[in-house]
Structure 1
Amino acid sequence: MPVSFLSPVQCDNYAKYPTDLPPDIVDSLFFLDDQDMEWIANKRGDFSRLGYALQLTTVRFIGAFISDLNQIPRVVIERVAIQIKVNDPESCISMYMKSEQRWRHAVEIRARYGYIEFAEKGSRYRLGRILCALCWTGTDRPGVLFDHAVGWLSTNKILLPGITVLERFVAEIRSRMESRLWRMLIKNLSASQQEKLNDLLVVEDDEHLSLLDKLRKGPVSISSTALVQALKRVESARNISVELPLYRIPACKIATLARFANTAKITAINRLPFERKMATLVAFANHFESDSQDDSLDVLSMVLRDLFSKAKQENKNTRLRTLKDLDQATATLVDACKLLLNTELCDHEIRDTIYTTVGHEALVSAVENATALIRPPSNVFYHELEQKEKTVQKFLPSLLRVINFDSNQAGKPLLASLEWLKGKQTDEPPMEIIGTSWKHNIVIKNECSVINWPQDEPRPTYRVIKKLVKTQDGIILHNDKLLYADLINKKIKEIVVPEKKQSQVEKLKKSILNMKEVQKNANNKELALITSITGRDSNRTTIDRTAYTFCVLDKLQSALKHRDVFISPSWRYADPRANLYSGSEWEAIRPMICRSLNLTIDPTLAITSLTDELHQVYRLVAANIDNNPAVRFETVKGNEELILTQLDALDEPPSLKALRAAVKAKLPRVDLPEMVLEIATRTGFADGFTHINEGSARAEDLLISLCAELLADACNTGREPFVREDIPALKRDRLVWVDQNYIRNETIMAVNAILVSAQNQIPLAKKWGGGDIASADGMRFVVPVRTVHAAPNPKYFKSGRGVTWYNLISNQRTGLNAVTVPGTLRDSLILLGVVLEQQTELQPTRIMTDAGAYSDIVFGLFRLLGLRFSPRLADMGGARFWRIDPLADYGKLNVLAKSRININLVPPEWDDILRLLASLKLGRVPAEGIMRTLQVADKPTRLAKAIAEIGRIDKTIHMLNYLHDESFRRQTLVQLNLGEGRHSLGRSVFHGKRGELHQRYRAGQEDQLGALGLVLNIITLWNTIYMDAAINQLRQEGFPVYDEDVARLSAYGYGHINMLGRYSFAMPDEVKRGELRPLRTTEKP
């Protein structure tokens, strides 16, 4: 492992004073107390006293003695000199540096104040134990460990050793802990397991791929065949799985090794030392089952989604095609009903009149057509689904065999139905999951069709008859023979009856021969003959297995979405409730959580506070409603409704237009790559990119490679335009190596935190906002390649599929966090996760969104977590305003405040609410998974109902404030417009390949869009830096600059940025001479 891992900044700052010390730091950290003054007073001469004092304050501040006191900042020297009353510090320092006392003073300070050397009294051992613990729990970046070591040594009065000594020590600790991890992972491996793992790396000659290469490729297409292949991949994962002592090994360490195995080349893994190679493969095997199961359920969800959505569309098209027939039949029946309702006709004349006017045959035909075409309420378009039975049977047996579903209490009935489908199905199936919309398709009444099959055609098959009739049985007359079609059991057989029933058979044959149609439902007389001849049970109902299967799949789709049904092991489809705090662990942290969220263990105080706030806001808004020109009441369909006038666009004063033009004119023109390199140099963000496995692995000119790979992703051009074989940092192999080892979600988040912090230091950004307000919105990308991780939405992707990049933007114009979701997932499911999982120094407390994230549960959770959810309310008409006190008088608002909050639902669930909040706050459970379990419309849990009641209080408070305060509405609109501006900039940056995302896998999508987010923040930061400088220069030149105009400037301008590169018109000398360019010797990807 490389020993030299420190950045230039760390080397420059080690055991040295910073270049700039704020006055408050100097006053607090260089203060000499009475005991210090007593020791210093015992020294002879001003130079001796000042030297001693400076040595003492220096070792306290930087943790080491320095050889030259002239390196101490002037402000520190003056502060110390004033305290000990030395008038000429410069000459005193000069005299002190020439004396031998500085060496004796250092020894005395060490003895008197308890400072020891790094090599003394077990210091290395104590520090080593702390660093080992940090490495073991996941903090193993060497630069972070080094900074932690420096801080610990200074705190514990251990003098800092030489920089290379401490650097080697940290490297040694990391190496030791890595070796320990590898040994633990392979400790219990048997010889057969080692052989299986080694087989993963064997490259087959015919395909030039190893088994590991094949397994790493997840599914990309959405079909029953792809689902079967994905399930086979799960079985392969189980064949190589290795049991680990997971309670002893941190999951983050295993995840790091598994990620390396997923991205590294086979040759790179083969070159690893034995212990490390086997540990890497063990980690891969351990994670692979979770990954493969998740991929399988992703494909299943997409297959079922396509299956049901296409059936729904086909049903809709069929309905449209048959509307004319239904209209005609309805018109005929209406004519008949009019005659039936005519009171002037005598009862005994009605039938003859109807037959004369409408016609008997027309009436019969109208009844039959209407019966065939009408649809029951909540129809599930089963007829169209039934055509896809073959598709389902391709994957269903494998799905039930391979995936072991589990469930909570709400999912138990579905689990029982899955078990019935999995078994031999000799018993009656569980019926709990069957709702009214499915029942008439599944439970089939004892009906039978009679069919007069043409005599000159071959005997019909089951499939032909099944398409023709819709009943459970059929009687077919063919060549004077009666055939019995058992359509449930899928059999057709000739009817053999005793002699005594021949007369009944002849009657039935005669009835069928007299039919004018090929097929019809048997009437009562025919049904009685059929029952007598065949022995059918006229009272028995039959379960249509195909319809039952589709019903189970429909319910499974919903249950997986809400995590009522889940699997293990899994990352995305695991039970989100499994990791909630409970038992003694919850009892221990409950007081801390209550303090951090400003809540109490007793719900009474929180409920009283919310009740009072709601009442006061109602009273405030009601008192000023008549003076609010934006609000009026109108009567709509007999109900009083509130109308909120939309905000007018803000006028742009001439001063703002002039300032915007002046600032724009001063911004330097720059190429995008130069901008990225400049910001990297200013912020040092390259330090956030760490090697996936070695942590500190570096290469010459790595910064150039990183910037090139970032731009290749962000501009969506691929790396080809950046490849230069004559520049080592831009060679193809180097860029591929950087992409595989440095650019991933965790490093992108670390680098983003650096950029956000840099933006937060700029005065102009602070004028825009303090970072306490953020907005969330989505940017859509079409994904034209075959992939499971994209979904349809005609509004955004037309006939294709796509993803949504949902991002959080602060009022300082920086992106704080983002998540990529297939299609256009409901904003309310992912909003909370985006907010809670962001890792920057800004902590926004008010989150503004468009109306798509609107939900009572979201309002409740945000309020309880100490945040405020503030969506833009586009239309207030019909909005429900909630109240607690039914007798409270809110004036004109009484017509709105009609809905009553059931606050009594909250106290019984309060402890569970606190437990959920703690688990979310401390990252024990995924926010998206919890939102899925809470937002169930049909059967919400008691916990969900309680949170929703709190959410209704906060939602009503928000709506009232939104009505009352125009500046609040304006602030919301301005913040949301920032998202539009950033997305416009994003479209310009992401210009390659028509702005479409060509990534098949989830990780690739997240990494590429993460790179886009970094480049957007880089452009924002660069623009802000130069805009701040331009504004300062304009002020110096006497240009009128007003703060209200500065607040409206945009950091997303890009007219001065060249994003398309430069074209070269240089030709090689050999081409100028008429020669050909050399042909390529190897195929480049």
Structure 2
Amino acid sequence: MYKRSGELLNKFQREEFLNSIFSMNTYELGAFYMLSKKDLKIISSKRRNSNQLGFAVQLCLCRYPGFLPDNLSIIPISLITFISKQLGLMHEDFKNYSLREATLYEHRAELQEKFGFQVLNKKNESKLQVLLVPFIERGYQTTELLIKLLELCRIEGIVVTTTLSNLEHIISKTRQKVEINIQNILTQNLTSEQKDLLDNTLKMTKDKYLSDFGWLKKNIGKTSVSSFHEILKKLHYLEKFYFIPEDLDIPIAKVKEFINLGTTYEASSLKKLSENKRFSILIVFFHKLRKTLIDMGIQIHMYQMKQVKKKSQRKLESLQKNEVKSFNQKVIKFIEIGEILIEAKKEKLNPYKILEQKIGWDKILLEIEDAKKLAKPQNFSYLNFIDNRYNYLRNYSPDFLKHFEFIPIKSSLELMKAIDVLRLMNNSKSRKLPVNIPINFLPKKWKDYVIKKDEKICKRHYEMAILDEINNEIKAGNIAVRGSEQYQNFENYLISKEEFKITDYTNYQLNFKTYIKERKEKLQSQIELLKIKLPTSKTAYGINGKIYLRKLSSEIPNNTDEFINDIFKKIPQIKLTNMLLEVSKWTNFTNEFRHLSNGKIINESELPILLSTLLALGTNIGLSKMADHTYNTSYHQLAYVSQWYLQEDSLRRAIAHLVNFQHHRSLASYWGDGTTSSSDGMRMKVPVSSFHAKYSEHLGFEKGVTVYRAVADQFQSYYTKIINIDSREAVHVLDTLLSHHTELDIKEHYTDTHGYTDQVFALCHMFGIKFAPRIKGISDLRLFYADKIDSCIKEYFHRKINFNIIERNFEDILRLIFSIHEGITSSSFILSKLGSYARKNSLAQALRELGRIEKTIYLIEYFLDADLRHRVQKGLNKGESVNALSRKLNFGQQNEYYEASYIG
């Protein structure tokens, strides 16, 4: 069970790995183990049947997987049978092969001589270590590295004839070398003064009763002005680490590892580490923290400007609501005056006398004065109510402009000049605007408020317009923020054009004309199908330029509820704790939880503590209550396990382990084959002060977050992430499909309306996944065509696809897809960026047009194919049932989250 020094797998993991590399399907057996005439000739020279079969098996194993186990009994019968049939022998002959150990080694020597295989030795081990470095730097896990190492051995013609632990030693040594090298890169230029600065952050301070490191790690609470000033304090403190470069020249996987360590370690624990490791963690952690704080500062500004608009709009709505009655009275009165005037003209009477008689001149004058008060300028809007928010914004805006540096990307130079004007005024404490200030950046809605009738400029409105435009231009991607992670130039998030041109990945060198020709043909064939089938369709009908769905008959038989209840009565009741223990014994999923610092698996004696911690967090009862109700387990033990073993990566690995285990059970195939899935969000309240929780009308205007979950057709919850409650679910769809690291091969994915955009259609298709959303108000959606459209169905189509814009941006689309696939950026981040950009953004438009091709193809199929509609509904129902189960299991603390931070 326990591992010796340098070993990375325990007994169970090693057995599991060996079983996986020797388990092959019929196709793989044929691909790797077909014997040639030359092979058969050499094999036939052996005297006994057992020796012939044994020699042949060893030859095949040398070729794939390139590993000869000491214990030949682990080789599957199916593999031996496949080889024995080619020799005309019985697989039972293999049992006698390893009786004489000398024969085994004689044959191995002959394999080297006649087939040119090398055995693993010190010389080629050094070469393998060099070849392994890039994969360690990319964050490959141990089993992934073992697979890669065997692959490298096969390429080099090396056969591993030793135990698997020797390969583990190679990985362990290479990891150590990579770690030392990365630490040297980060620390080699540090002076003694700089080292002291870093170490001083770990010392306890008298006024704060904690170290500066501990203070820096404290969560920022609300998106408030006070939080903004707390961010500035921390940014000011981090300025002393000027020697930390803006770009760290180390692999992304190591950056994430050091950040996790920095987040987890307390100052006292960091002090105990070696100097190089301690400084490496601090450098990377402070580098990340600075970027995070800058992003938070921008987000607070965006939130404040959003609140200014929201509160001003409420005042406008309140005023309009209060004035409705007065407006109505005035309209009635002026209708009365109008009718009197019409009558006077008709009867050729003096209108003034009649008005005097019927209403009274003084009353008319009074009505006119009242109407003047109600009358508003044509451009009257919420901007008329922003004055009273000016002083509130001034609580942070001067510091915001002073400490945040904005970089113009597109057409923002005038705004930059205006920002400089405000900075100078704030620095000099001047209240008067200078002459000839820039105003060309002002949008039309602001100009009437900033520039008064006498051509004078209102300083208050000018300042607020600048703050609003900073917000808008950052969102539109026209302004970058120096030092930010989320608000850079869009190009920084993609592989560069130069690098992309020389990439070896031929999958991304897609020819535009070939691709578009195929998609045009598919689109045209769907349009032809619509023309033929719609008039007589039993699933849809067209009227007045819209296509409507007919109601489908239910696929669920009658009286199923009674049957379901009978089944559930037969299922034995079991405690959650016992179930978790049983599942742990079946699957060994707990082996995925490794100590963040040393990478070791938790001791068997501490396994109940790990399971109790998982149960406490999974049911949301919390660690304190779990400790109170668990024999011989303290809160500190649970907290330690939570802190050091339950990291995001380890949780994802454990989930993947469980998903794969279920996927390979025959029972799971009754629900599906693991090729379809759905995703949906589940909103949860967060009563505590959290930077990430936002108010939502869906939660009764309380704060909360959304748990976004993907569920496969076999009922596996294979991917979960927590997102902001106001985040569009559609931007996270591809994350669930590309980042789950399970053995599921998802080919079709379902969402509801919240999970759909044209751009998601485009990217899903480019990644080979059929996107199939259930869209509310589907009859209102626009269809698009490629070239020409017959007049009989033209009313259902909006316009022609803009292929020109797709062609102009096609290489950038491929770069974007490559960047997502290779982990340079995430799909959710890119899609949220493209979604916030202005319509004039060419790449966003091109991706939208590309998606409209796929959307139209899908919608026509959805209109005409009842089976597809049933599939989509079933898939979504499965996801909803898992969410419902999750709510039941998450019973602690009234289904509310009390964590201030979360994995996003």
Q: Structure 1 length normalisation: TM-score?
A: 0.75
State yes or no: 1:627 paired with 2:536: yes
Aligned counterpart in structure 1 of residue 806 of structure 2, from 892, 906, 910:
906
Report the equivalent of 1:286.
Answer: 287
Distance 2:85 2:880 in 1: 56
Is residue 225–residue 394 contact of structure 1 (8 Å, CA) maintained in 2? no
Is the partner of 1:369 in helix, strand or coil? helix
Report the equivalent of 2:9.
Answer: 6
1:416-427 equivalences under 5 Å are: 416-424=417-425, 425-427=433-435
Q: Percent identity?
A: 21
Total equivalences in the alignment: 893
Distance 2:82 2:825 in 1: 51
**Corresponding letter in the other structure for 2:452:** I
Q: In the TM superposition, what is the alpha-carbon distance from 1:230 to its structure 2 partner?
A: 1.8
Is the partner of 1:204 in helix, strand or coil? coil
Is the partner of 2:256 in helix, strand or coil? helix
State yes or no: 1:818 paired with 2:820: no
Is residue 677–residue 746 contact of structure 2 (8 Å, CA) maintained in 1? yes
Q: In the TM superposition, what is the alpha-carbon distance from 1:187 to its structure 2 partner?
A: 1.0
**Corresponding letter in the other structure for 1:754:** H
**Corresponding letter in the other structure for 1:263:** T
Report the equivalent of 1:714.
Answer: 618
State yes or no: 1:874 paired with 2:882: no
1:775-814 equivalences under 5 Å are: 775-794=678-697, 796-814=698-716
**Corresponding letter in the other structure for 1:825:** S
Q: In the TM superposition, what is the alpha-carbon distance from 1:100 to its structure 2 partner?
A: 5.3
State yes or no: 1:570 paired with 2:484: yes
Judged with a 3 Å threshold, the aligned counterparts in structure 2 of structure 1 residues 99 and 612 are, in CA distance, closer, same or farther, namely: closer
Report the equivalent of 1:1025.
Answer: none
Q: In the TM superposition, what is the alpha-carbon distance from 1:419 to its structure 2 partner?
A: 3.1
1:103-114 equivalences under 5 Å are: 103-114=105-116
Report the equivalent of 1:701.
Answer: 605
Report the equivalent of 1:430.
Answer: 438
Report the equivalent of 2:866.
Answer: 966
Judged with a 3 Å threshold, the aligned counterparts in structure 2 of structure 1 residues 208 and 657 are, in CA distance, closer, same or farther, namely: same
1:112-127 equivalences under 5 Å are: 112-120=114-122, 122-127=123-128
Is the partner of 1:753 in helix, strand or coil? helix
Report the equivalent of 2:270.
Answer: 269
Distance 1:961 1:127 in 2: 51
Report the equivalent of 2:430.
Answer: none
Is the partner of 2:680 in helix, strand or coil? strand
Is the partner of 2:673 in helix, strand or coil? coil
Q: In the TM superposition, what is the alpha-carbon distance from 1:293 to its structure 2 partner?
A: 0.9
Bigger radius of gyration: 1
Report the equivalent of 2:843.
Answer: 943
Aligned counterpart in structure 1 of residue 748 of structure 2, from 846, 849, 860:
846
Report the equivalent of 1:39.
Answer: 42
**Corresponding letter in the other structure for 2:819:** S
Distance 2:278 2:197 in 1: 13
Aligned counterpart in structure 1 of residue 879 of structure 2, from 974, 979, 983:
979
Is the partner of 1:255 in helix, strand or coil? helix
1:468-617 equivalences under 5 Å are: 540-589=454-503, 592-594=506-508, 599-602=510-513, 605-617=514-526
Distance 2:371 2:622 in 1: 59
- 244-253 or 781-790: bigger deviation: 244-253
CA deviation string 1:3-46 (max 9, x = no partner) = 44312224436879989776666666555443344334444555
Q: In the TM superposition, what is the alpha-carbon distance from 1:301 to its structure 2 partner?
A: 2.6
Is the helix fraction higher in 1 or 2? 2
Is residue 591–residue 601 contact of structure 2 (8 Å, CA) maintained in 1? no
Is residue 410–residue 479 contact of structure 2 (8 Å, CA) maintained in 1? no
1:887-902 equivalences under 5 Å are: 888-889=789-790, 891=792, 893-902=793-802
1:186-201 equivalences under 5 Å are: 186-201=187-202
State yes or no: 1:766 paired with 2:669: yes
Distance 1:71 1:937 in 2: 57
Distance 1:102 1:879 in 2: 70
CA deviation string 1:583-611 (max 9, x = no partner) = 3322234982446xxx4233xx4444333
Distance 1:16 1:876 in 2: 49
Q: In the TM superposition, what is the alpha-carbon distance from 1:243 to its structure 2 partner?
A: 2.5
Report the equivalent of 2:573.
Answer: 669
Is residue 258–residue 281 contact of structure 2 (8 Å, CA) maintained in 1? yes
Report the equivalent of 2:730.
Answer: 828
User: Mind listing any 5+ residue stretches in structure 2 that lack a counterpart?
Assistant: 426-432
Q: In the TM superposition, what is the alpha-carbon distance from 1:761 to its structure 2 partner?
A: 1.6
Distance 2:786 2:77 in 1: 65
State yes or no: 1:240 paired with 2:241: yes
Report the equivalent of 1:1001.
Answer: 901
Distance 2:873 2:675 in 1: 16
Distance 1:608 1:99 in 2: 63
Is the partner of 2:674 in helix, strand or coil? coil
Distance 2:299 2:97 in 1: 77
Distance 1:845 1:26 in 2: 25
CA deviation string 1:1026-1045 (max 9, x = no partner) = xxxxxxxxxxxxxxxxxxxx
Q: In the TM superposition, what is the alpha-carbon distance from 1:340 to its structure 2 partner?
A: 4.8
Is residue 512–residue 807 contact of structure 2 (8 Å, CA) maintained in 1? no
**Corresponding letter in the other structure for 2:595:** H
Distance 1:41 1:69 in 2: 21
Distance 2:529 2:97 in 1: 73
Judged with a 3 Å threshold, the aligned counterparts in structure 2 of structure 1 residues 810 and 576 are, in CA distance, closer, same or farther, namely: farther
Distance 1:836 1:727 in 2: 41
Distance 1:47 1:877 in 2: 70
Aligned counterpart in structure 2 of residue 646 of structure 1, from 533, 536, 551:
551
Is the partner of 2:669 in helix, strand or coil? helix
Distance 1:342 1:435 in 2: 48
Judged with a 3 Å threshold, the aligned counterparts in structure 2 of structure 1 residues 25 and 392 are, in CA distance, closer, same or farther, namely: closer
Is residue 304–residue 557 contact of structure 1 (8 Å, CA) maintained in 2? yes
Q: In the TM superposition, what is the alpha-carbon distance from 1:77 to its structure 2 partner?
A: 5.7
Is the partner of 2:394 in helix, strand or coil? helix
Q: In the TM superposition, what is the alpha-carbon distance from 1:71 to its structure 2 partner?
A: 6.8
Is residue 219–residue 787 contact of structure 1 (8 Å, CA) maintained in 2? yes
Is the partner of 1:423 in helix, strand or coil? helix
Is residue 224–residue 394 contact of structure 1 (8 Å, CA) maintained in 2? yes
Report the equivalent of 2:160.
Answer: 159
Judged with a 3 Å threshold, the aligned counterparts in structure 2 of structure 1 residues 725 and 167 are, in CA distance, closer, same or farther, namely: farther
Judged with a 3 Å threshold, the aligned counterparts in structure 2 of structure 1 residues 9 and 412 are, in CA distance, closer, same or farther, namely: farther
Distance 2:259 2:607 in 1: 26
**Corresponding letter in the other structure for 1:950:** L
Distance 1:58 1:904 in 2: 53
Report the equivalent of 2:428.
Answer: none
Report the equivalent of 1:409.
Answer: 410
Judged with a 3 Å threshold, the aligned counterparts in structure 2 of structure 1 residues 824 and 293 are, in CA distance, closer, same or farther, namely: same
Report the equivalent of 2:824.
Answer: 924
Q: In the TM superposition, what is the alpha-carbon distance from 1:897 to its structure 2 partner?
A: 2.8
Distance 1:907 1:193 in 2: 52
Report the equivalent of 1:1019.
Answer: none
Judged with a 3 Å threshold, the aligned counterparts in structure 2 of structure 1 residues 100 and 547 are, in CA distance, closer, same or farther, namely: closer
User: Mind listing any 5+ residue stretches in structure 1 that lack a counterpart?
Assistant: 446-539, 1007-1085
Is residue 771–residue 812 contact of structure 1 (8 Å, CA) maintained in 2? yes
Judged with a 3 Å threshold, the aligned counterparts in structure 2 of structure 1 residues 840 and 415 are, in CA distance, closer, same or farther, namely: farther
Distance 2:804 2:21 in 1: 58
Q: In the TM superposition, what is the alpha-carbon distance from 1:711 to its structure 2 partner?
A: 1.9
Q: In the TM superposition, what is the alpha-carbon distance from 1:996 to its structure 2 partner?
A: 0.9
State yes or no: 1:744 paired with 2:647: yes
Is residue 683–residue 705 contact of structure 2 (8 Å, CA) maintained in 1? yes
CA RMSD between the two structures:
3.5
Aligned counterpart in structure 1 of residue 592 of structure 2, from 688, 693, 698:
688
Judged with a 3 Å threshold, the aligned counterparts in structure 2 of structure 1 residues 920 and 339 are, in CA distance, closer, same or farther, namely: farther
Is the partner of 1:577 in helix, strand or coil? helix
Q: In the TM superposition, what is the alpha-carbon distance from 1:545 to its structure 2 partner?
A: 1.8
